[in-house]
Amino acid sequence: MVPGFGLSKADYPVSPAERREVRVKAGKWYGVVLNSDQACRNFYAKVVSTIGWIVKCVAPIIALAFSVLGRAMSFPCTAAFKACRQLLRYLSTRTDIELYYERDRVYDWQHGDWPEYVMTCDAGMFGDADGRSQGGHEGHFRGLAVDHAVSSRMTGVMTSTFMAEATQATSAAKQGVYVYNVDNWLGASKAAPIPLGIDNLATVLAAARPKFSPKSKHFNISARYLAEIVEQGIVYPYHVAGTVTDTHDGIASDALTKPLSANLIAHYYPVLQGRRPTA
């Protein structure tokens, strides 16, 4: 067992002594008795599943943490149990956590006046011990809380940030197709495609060019799906600054991709969870 970043396979306890140490520490921290390895796995799965239910219902802000904790399902290590404690402690300080939706005006939907649906996506190249990259995307009606937020580790090994961003943008585009088709079925679609904010300019430019380039010729064919969707007029990718500055607000998907400071978490919290009115 080699402690590392991101709960990779190198963190898994291998020897019986290491697993016993995990059971003892976890039992002490959570006030439970874990007499076997199976009991340890089951207890960890229950804790993480509970966190996942919270993420799905009201807390997309911790979707990244839930995704990372899920990596240790086969057998949790001490770091995984410790991370669960820290996340539960954070939730205990946010007992009012919720998804808040409040329209900014009354829309004349009978005459085609609908709120604009927007999406963002992001991906990171961390190079953890498993050689995988983390990505995320979210979508929402402009000014409201998200209605979907995804944070997951990519299945393939990414060789560049460009490749990671293109792969994640394709995943976001698939969600965009679903939203677009549902809107059409409801008669609530607009003539304009769904805007998809991406902080990687190469991915935006590649989406407008259906041809392969020397830097993208090795990409999986599924990563070219974004260009097809753009040609069909369903999604419109555009470049947006991913860094929060005095003039840029960044993109909310950043919080679904990489660990952020407390200040940045506070910055993206109202974007993902919804802006509550001030007293």
Give yes or no for residue 14 having a pLDDT over 60.
yes
pLDDT score recorded for residue 25: 92
The confidence band for 73, taking pLDDT boundaries of 50, 70 and 90, is confident
- List, for residues 40-66, the tens digit of each pLDDT value: 999 999 999 999 999 999 999 999 999
Strand order of the β-sheet with 117-124 is: 146-153, 134-141, 117-124, 194-198, 235-239
pLDDT over 90 for what percent of the chain? 35
Domain boundaries, the chain: 9-92, 109-273
Give yes or no for residue 94 having a pLDDT over 50.
yes
pLDDT over 70 for what percent of the chain? 88
Q: What CATH number was assigned to the domain covering residues 109-273?
A: 3.30.420.10
Give the rounded distance of the alpha carbon of 38 from its chain centre: 29
Give yes or no for residue 167 having a pLDDT over 60.
yes
The 3-state secondary structure of the chain reads CCCCCCCCHHHCCCCHHHHHHHHHHHHHHHCCCCCCHHHHHHHHHHHHHHHHHHHHHCCHHHHHHHHHHHHHCCCCCHHHHHHHHHHHHHHHCCCCCCCCCCCCCCCCHHHCCCCCEEEEEEEECCCCCCCCCEEEEEEEECCCCEEEEEEEECCCCCCCHHHHHHHHHHHHHHHHHHHHHHHHHHCCCCCCCEEEEECCHHHHHHHCCCCCCCCCCCCCHHHHHHHHHHHCCCEEEEECCCCECCCCECCHHHHHCCCCCHHHHHHHHHHHHCCCCCC
The greatest distance separating any two alpha carbons of the chain, rounded to the nearest whole angstrom, comes to: 69
Amino acid 108 reads D
- List, for residues 121-156, the tens digit of each pLDDT value: 998 876 455 667 888 999 998 888 999 999 988 887
pLDDT score recorded for residue 242: 82
Token pair, residue 170, equals: 């394709």
pLDDT score recorded for residue 191: 61
**Cα 247 to Cα 245: distance, rounded to the nearest angstrom:** 5
- The better pLDDT of the pair 218, 182 is held by 182
Q: What is the pTM of this model?
A: 0.87
Q: How many residues does the chain have?
A: 279
User: What residues contact residue 37 under an 8 Å CB cut-off, 6+ apart?
Assistant: 19, 23, 75
- The better pLDDT of the pair 206, 122 is held by 122
- List, for residues 212-233, the tens digit of each pLDDT value: 666 666 677 777 788 888 988 8
